[in-house]
Amino acid sequence: MRIQILDPLLANQIAAGEVVERPASVLKELLENSIDAGATQIKIDLEGGGIKGIVVTDNGRGITKEDLPLAFSRHATSKIVCMQDLENVNSLGFRGEALASISSVARVRLASKTNAQETGWEIAMEGRIGEYKMVPCPHPIGTTIEVQDLFFNTPARRKFLRTERTELLQIEEVLRRLLFSRFNINFQVKHQQKILFNVPEALTRDEKEKRIGLICGQEFVSQSIAIEASTFDLAISGWISLPQFSRSQPDMQYFYVNGRIVRDKLINHAVRLAYQDVLYGNRCPGYILFFNLPPDLVDVNVHPTKHEVRFRDSRLVHDFITSTLKESLQQITPQQIVQKTHYFVKPLPQQTPLEMKEDVAVYPIVQSAEKQVTKIEPFAAVVSQPLISLGFALGQLLGIYIVAENEAGMILVDMHAAHERVLYEKLKLQYQANEIVTQRLLVPITIQVNKKEADYVEDKHALFADLGFELARLSNETVVLRQVPALLQSKDVGRMVKDILSDEIEMDRSDRVHHYQNEILATIACRAAVRANTLLTVHEMNGLLRDLENTPNNGVCNHGRPTWQQFTLSDLDKFFLRGK
C-alpha cells in the first residue's frame, strides 16, 4: 500500500470523532459559538433527541458574508491569531474545528447577519468540501444554525447513538452546564415544539437561585449556601450544599474555570477534602462553583472537548479551593440551616442510611435501670459570641434528645450526635496544636484483644501516642492502657479503646494514611460521646448546648447526621392549625 493524503471530507469526518460524539456534543459546540459571539438571547429547537435536528438561533455578532464559507473550513477561527492569544484565551472556542467537523457528518445550514450588513446570508453545505450554496436571506442581527440528520453519511457512527430519549437526557445535561455558566443569557429550549427550559436572564442572586431551582430542583437551592472568596489572583463564588444535603452520585457538581465547565480530578479532590469532616463516607456534595484566575495561569488546550484543564500551580489552586470551602462550611450557622430548611413542611431528603455507631437497639428502653449518670464537662472558656442561641434545656426526651427552648421556638438536640461533634472538634484543635491534654490512669487497664488488634496496637504505637493514648502490647492477645486524652477520662475507657481498635481494623484505613488522624479522632469522639439513655442533669444539658453553640460544623455530626433541629413557633402553629 502506498501512502496517500486523506480525502479532506474523510479527514474532517475522522477529526469529528474527537468532538462530535452525539447530539449533545453538537449542541455544546453550537452554544459555545453563540456565547463567544456575545449573544444575550439563545433559542434552541430540537427534534428527535437532537438526532433529527438541532436549530440554534442567537442574537450575537453574526458572521459577515465573506466569512461564511470560512467558518466551515478546518483550522479557521476568528478567536485567536497567534500563540500569545492562545495563552490568554478567554473565548470558549479557539480550535476552529467544530463547524468543519459537524458539517462533515450532518446536513448543515447557517444564516447570519452582522450589523454592518443590509441583509443576511444563508449558506448550505453540500457535503463535499469547498462546495456550498449561498443565497440572501432575511435575518435579524445574529446567527441561526441548523444541523440535521446527524451521522447520515457515517452509518457506523450512527449505530452508536442511543434512543432519542437517552440522547435528550444527555442534551439536558449539556444545557444545565451552560445555563449555569451564563446567567446573563436568556435561553429558550424546545423539543418537538414543547418547551423544555425557558430561563430569563438572571442578574441578582435571587434570580440566579431561581434559575438554579428551575434546572436543578428547588431542593438544592434551599439546602445550599452562597459563597464568595478571592485572593490576589484567584476567585471563587457560587453555591455549595449544606452537609445534610448529599447525594450518592456526583451528579450535582458543576465547576467552572473561567466560565468553562471542567471535570477535573484535582478539583474533585479539593472539594472532597473540604467536606470530609462533615460528609459521611462516599456521599457526594452538590455544588455550582465559578473559579476564576488569570488565563495565563491555566492551560485550556489539553483536550479537544476542553473538559480538562491544567493549572500552572495546581497545589495553590487545590489548597485555595479546599480552604475556602472548608471555611465556608465551618461558618454555616445553625441559623442558616434553620432558614434554609423547614422540616415540618418538607422532611429532610431521604439519605441512604448513615452509619450509626451508636447502638440503636437501646433506644426503645425508656425507663431503664441502667441509666447512668455521666458528667459532661461544660466548655471551659466560652469567650467568643455564640453563633446562635440554642436556648435553655427543658429536659430530656426518651433518653435520646434534649428539648430546649430558644427565642424562635423549640429546639431538639440529638444528644449523642451533638456531643460527638463537640468532642471531635475539641480533639482536633488539641491535636493540631500538638497538645492533646492527657490523663494518666491511676490503675493501668489491661485489655483482652485478638491478635490482629494487638498487632495493630504495636504497629501504630506512635500514632496512638500522638493522639494521647499510652497503649502498649503486653502479650499475644493483651494490651495495656496507661494514659488517655483527658476529654475521655470519665468513660469506660477500656471498653472504648477496644471498640476503637475494632472499628479501625474493620475500616482498614491503611491506604489512606493522610487523613488517618482525623478519622481516628472521629472514631474516638463517636465512641466517647454520651450514649442514649444517659441521664443528664439540666446543668449538663445546658453545658452541652453552650458547647455546641461554640463548635464549628455544629449542624451535623461526624457522620453527616443533623445534630439539632429548630421547630419555630410558626412551624408549631402550622402543625396545630392555629390562626387558620
Interaction site with Mg ion (CB under 5 A) = 33, 93, 98
Closest CB 307 distance from ligand ADP, rounded Å: 15
Q: Which is nearer to Mg ion, 33 or 563 (CB)?
A: 33
Task: For Cα atoms 102, 107, 111, give the angle at the middle one, nearest 5 degrees.
Answer: 90
Retrieve residue 60's grid coordinates: 450575537
Closest CB 565 distance from ligand ADP, rounded Å: 51
Query: Should residue 41 be labelled a site residue for ligand ADP when binding is judged by CB under 6 A?
Result: no
Q: Which is nearer to ligand ADP, 32 or 519 (CB)?
A: 32
Closest CB 568 distance from ligand ADP, rounded Å: 51
CB 54 within 8 A of CB 149: no
Question: How far is 6 from 189, CA to CA, in rounded Å?
Answer: 38
Which one among 40, 64, 78, 351 touches ligand ADP, defined by CB under 6 A? 78
Residue entry with cell 471551659: 380
Q: Is 350 exposed, middle or buried (0-12, 13-18, 19+ CB in 10 A)?
A: exposed
Closest CB 96 distance from ligand ADP, rounded Å: 4
Q: Nearest Cα to 529, choosing from 491, 580, 486? A: 491
3-state secondary structure at position 179: helix
Retrieve residue 487's grid coordinates: 476529654
Q: Which partner from the list ligand ADP, Mg ion, none does 553 bind, CB cut-off 5 to 8 Å by kind?
A: none
CA distances from 336 to 79, 214, 355 (A): 44, 22, 25
Closest CB 29 distance from ligand ADP, rounded Å: 6
Binding residue count for ligand ADP, defined by CB under 6 A: 22
Closest CB 231 distance from Mg ion, rounded Å: 32
> Which residue type does 465 have?
A
Which one among 54, 71, 175, 447 touches ligand ADP, defined by CB under 6 A? 71
Task: For Cα atoms 155, 158, 164, give the angle at the middle one, nearest 5 degrees.
Answer: 145
Which one among 28, 43, 61, 416 touches ligand ADP, defined by CB under 6 A? 61
Question: How far is 54 from 149, CA to CA, in rounded Å?
Answer: 9
Query: Should residue 146 be labelled a site residue for ligand ADP when binding is judged by CB under 6 A?
Result: no
Mask for 88-117, x = binds ligand ADP (CB under 6 A): -----xxxxxxxx-----------------
Q: Which is nearer to Mg ion, 26 or 449 (CB)?
A: 26
Q: Which partner from the list Mg ion, ligand ADP, none does 58 bind, CB cut-off 5 to 8 Å by kind?
A: ligand ADP
CB 455 within 8 A of CB 510: no
Helix (H) or strand (E) holding 25: helix 23-36
Which one among 58, 519, 547, 571 touches ligand ADP, defined by CB under 6 A? 58
Residue number with the smallest Cβ distance to ligand ADP: 93
Closest CB 150 distance from ligand ADP, rounded Å: 16
CB 542 within 8 A of CB 575: no
Which one among 23, 60, 285, 562 touches ligand ADP, defined by CB under 6 A? 60
Query: Should residue 33 be labelled a site residue for ligand ADP when binding is judged by CB under 6 A?
Result: yes
The conformation of residue 349, written as its DSSP 8-state character, comes to P
Q: Which is nearer to ligand ADP, 63 or 501 (CB)?
A: 63
CB 151 within 8 A of CB 106: yes
Partner residues linked to 229 by β-bridges: 236
Closest CB 147 distance from ligand ADP, rounded Å: 12
Report the b/e string of 185-216 with b at 16+ CB within 10 A. Answer: bbbbbbbeeeebbebeebeeeeebbbbbebbb
Q: Which is nearer to Mg ion, 80 or 410 (CB)?
A: 80
Q: Which is nearer to ligand ADP, 144 or 566 (CB)?
A: 144
Closest CB 14 distance from Mg ion, rounded Å: 18
Closest CB 306 distance from Mg ion, rounded Å: 10
Q: Which is nearer to Mg ion, 95 or 561 (CB)?
A: 95
CB 89 within 8 A of CB 295: yes
Q: Which is nearer to Mg ion, 72 or 564 (CB)?
A: 72
Q: Which partner from the list ligand ADP, Mg ion, none does 94 bind, CB cut-off 5 to 8 Å by kind?
A: ligand ADP
Q: Which partner from the list Mg ion, ligand ADP, none does 469 bind, CB cut-off 5 to 8 Å by kind?
A: none
Q: Which partner from the list Mg ion, ligand ADP, none does 77 bind, CB cut-off 5 to 8 Å by kind?
A: ligand ADP
Helix (H) or strand (E) holding 472: strand 470-475
Q: Count CB-CB contacts under 10 A for residue 479.
A: 24
What is the DSSP secondary-structure string of 201-232? ---SHHHHHHHHHHHH-HHHHHTEEEEEEE-S
Q: Which partner from the list Mg ion, ligand ADP, none does 34 bind, CB cut-off 5 to 8 Å by kind?
A: ligand ADP
Q: Which stretch binds ligand ADP (CB under 6 A): 60-68, 272-280, 315-323, 423-431?
A: 60-68
Closest CB 48 distance from ligand ADP, rounded Å: 22
Q: Which is nearer to ligand ADP, 114 or 336 (CB)?
A: 114
Question: How far is 161 from 150, CA to CA, in rounded Å?
Answer: 10
Q: Which stretch binds ligand ADP (CB under 6 A): 31-39, 234-242, 409-417, 483-491?
A: 31-39
Q: Which stretch binds ligand ADP (CB under 6 A): 71-79, 294-302, 318-326, 360-368?
A: 71-79
Closest CB 202 distance from ligand ADP, rounded Å: 22
Question: How far is 518 from 22, CA to CA, in rounded Å?
Answer: 45
Question: How far is 96 from 85, CA to CA, in rounded Å?
Answer: 14
Q: Which is nearer to ligand ADP, 115 or 434 (CB)?
A: 115
CB 409 within 8 A of CB 569: yes
Q: Which partner from the list Mg ion, ligand ADP, none does 37 bind, CB cut-off 5 to 8 Å by kind?
A: ligand ADP
Q: Nearest Cα to 132, choosing from 101, 108, 115? A: 108
Alpha helices in 57-133 (DSSP H): 68-71, 83-87, 98-105
Pairing of strands 478-485, 392-397: unpaired
Q: Which residue ranges make up the site for ligand ADP (CB under 6 A)?
A: 29, 33-34, 37, 58, 60-63, 71, 77-79, 93-100, 143
